[in-house]
Amino acid sequence: MLRFLILVLLVAAAWLVLTRIAGTSKRPRADDEASAAGEEQVLACGLCGLHVPESEGLRVGEVFYCCEAHRRQANGPHPD
pLDDT of residue 33: 57
CA distances from 49 to 10, 12, 46, 58, 64 (A): 53, 51, 6, 13, 10
Contacts of 39 (CB under 8 A, 6+ apart): none
pTM (2 decimals)? 0.48
CA distances from 31 to 7, 38, 43, 53, 69 (A): 39, 11, 19, 16, 33
Sequential pLDDT tens for the chain (80 residues): 889 999 999 999 999 988 888 776 555 555 555 555 678 889 999 999 999 999 999 999 899 999 999 989 987 765 55
Measured distance CA(24)–CA(36) in Å, rounded: 19
